[in-house]
Amino acid sequence: MEETRKQTIAAGGAFLGIEMGSTRIKAVLIDEKGTPLASGDHGWENRLEDGLWTYTLEDVWTGLQDAYARMAEDVQKQYGVTLTALRGMGFSAMMHGYMAFDEAGELLVPFRTWRNTNTGAAAETLTELLQFNIPQRWSVAHLYQAILNGEAHVPQIRFFTTLAGYVHWKLTGEKVLGIGDASGMFPIDSTVNDYDAAMLDAFDEKVASYGFPWKIRDLLPKVLLAGEDAGRLTAEGAKLLDPTGALQAGVPICPPEGDAGTGMAATNSVAARTGNVSAGTSVFAMFVLEKALSRYYTEIDMVTTPTGKPVAMVHCNNCTNEINAWAGVFRGFLEALGQKADMNAVYTAMFRTALAAEKDAGGLVLYNFLSGEPVAGMTEGRPLLVRSPEAKLNFANFMAAQLYSAVGALKLGMDILAEEQVAVDRLLGHGGYFKTPEVGQRVMAAAMGAPVSVMETAGEGGPWGMALLAAYAVCRQSGQTLEDYLERQIFAGQECVTLSPDPEDVAGFQAFMERYKKGLPAEQAAVDALR
């Protein structure tokens, strides 16, 4: 088997997916069956500058180069092969945000990430104007807020895009975007698989009095569906990604996608009545709809699958960030005792200990809001642990509260979809929250009140999903849909573990949520007091 994989890589037959997440850039190399062959990653963190969360362009490129280099090193180590050619590749990233460029292709203002919650006025106005929920993190909300702020760069904009769209543009020269990522920039009309024309007109009319030398249509990247031609890696792009010069140009690059779309692909959740929960630094649950919701909700985002099907999404800015922070604390404690900290062991102990907790986390209330959380009505965040004198604080209850809090805001949005009677036949989980077997899955099942399945590839997540989209673009049969391709070529026969909600777990989580909802004013008070 290893020899076959070596031959695949040496012959340039592998597919590469790279995803730029909030805390990690990961590259995953696969064969045409979706089998992971090698991987590499690079840790990075956003920075708060002038009140806005951002990454520099240097962060982007040094991170991409490092993740690619580590993957190539893994190939060399495992197979003794220097990676020079690929059959296909694709890039994905955290969705939304704002990257605006001038005529010369220069970035006008620092990249504004999805984490920013300074666009409340714009989001509210656009939601009312378009009668469509425009969340604060959407690209058009950032653009309109810049207009409302009177920012000097706005008249100079000639193109704006997402992080994935930016990287794809620099590597191929093509200003395009996969429809799933595009649906987080501006509303999509799924009947034509393009930006909603009436809403584009409404936006232009709204800003006409400013006299800008552009129409919003001219600024947005072209929308592409999964499998469509999105260009090839240029010689300049190859050198940019792999400064060693080993990687050859000409590789087909599929449409760039957002982490929502790659999550759907990675969990085989692109068909109607399927859903998935992606839980990492942020958390979102997505359900491919059979019919439209009865109305728009500010807590529910409407995005699309990589092929344009409408998707209802509950997105929360905060998930495992506080768990990660406490893992660092426990690591420091172990080191203070003179012990070497194995972080995999630390995380496993943290998660598994939660199973021994009281079902309601011992009466603890915890908020993991490092940044604002619009679903919970928070424009800013302050991580907070609150307990009454009779609450029982111990390690197990503390970790249960951490795991419950990580999906607490998600539960607030999920209750709306339950009222809308959104039907789901299959709900799959992926991301770091599910990496420790059973634990996160069990908590999520209790939160959702429904069975949750995790596939053996759950830990691979978005970059693996992006690699699958790259493979689909090259390997699909004539007329084969993405749904059929994933079902037949990738997921057929794959092991899947399903856990149904335990009634006691459900009752305990509900008790936690009652305290969680009652305590939200305390979280708001912390935000107001600690500035």
Confidence of residue 290 (pLDDT cuts 50, 70, 90): confident
**C-alpha to C-alpha distance for 369 and 373, rounded to whole angstroms:** 7
User: What's residue 459's pLDDT?
Assistant: 54
pTM: 0.82
Confidence of residue 281 (pLDDT cuts 50, 70, 90): confident
Amino acid symbol at 83: L
Specify if 248 maps to a domain.
Answer: no
Specify if 337 maps to a domain.
Answer: yes
pLDDT tens, residue by residue, 119-169? 999 999 999 999 999 999 999 999 999 999 999 999 999 999 999 999 999
Query: Are 368 and 375 contacting, i.e. CB atoms less than 8 angstroms apart?
Result: no
Q: Which residues contact 76 (CB under 8 A, 6 or more apart)?
A: 82, 83
Q: If you average pLDDT over residues 298-302, what whole number do you get?
A: 89
Domain count, the chain: 1
User: What's residue 231's pLDDT?
Assistant: 98
Average pLDDT of the chain is: 94
Specify if 403 maps to a domain.
Answer: yes
Confidence of residue 460 (pLDDT cuts 50, 70, 90): low
Confidence of residue 455 (pLDDT cuts 50, 70, 90): confident
Tokens of 117: 């919650």
Domain residues for the domain of 290 are 273-456+495-531
pLDDT tens, residue by residue, 363-403? 999 999 999 998 899 989 999 999 999 999 999 999 999 99
333 CB neighbour count, 10 Å cutoff: 12
Specify if 5 maps to a domain.
Answer: no
Specify if 260 maps to a domain.
Answer: no
Specify if 352 maps to a domain.
Answer: yes
Q: Which residues contact 511 (CB under 8 A, 6 or more apart)?
A: 359, 360
Query: Are 145 and 134 contacting, i.e. CB atoms less than 8 angstroms apart?
Result: no
Q: For the domain that residue 303 is a member of, what is the CATH number?
A: 3.30.420.40
Q: If you average pLDDT over residues 19-26, what whole number do you get?
A: 94
Query: Are 314 and 297 contacting, i.e. CB atoms less than 8 angstroms apart?
Result: no
Q: If you average pLDDT over residues 206-222, what whole number do you get?
A: 98
Query: Are 446 and 508 contacting, i.e. CB atoms less than 8 angstroms apart?
Result: yes
Q: Which of 390, 306, 315 is nearest to 135 (CA)?
A: 315
Tokens of 98: 């704002």
Tokens of 237: 């792009």
User: What's residue 449's pLDDT?
Assistant: 86
Q: If you average pLDDT over residues 324-340, what whole number do you get?
A: 96
DSSP codes joined into one string, 224-238: E-TTS---B--HHHH
User: What's residue 457's pLDDT?
Assistant: 59
pLDDT tens, residue by residue, 437-448? 999 999 999 998
Specify if 513 maps to a domain.
Answer: yes
Residue 101: phi, psi to the nearest 5? -125, 150
Q: If you average pLDDT over residues 481-510, what whole number do you get?
A: 93
Specify if 371 maps to a domain.
Answer: yes
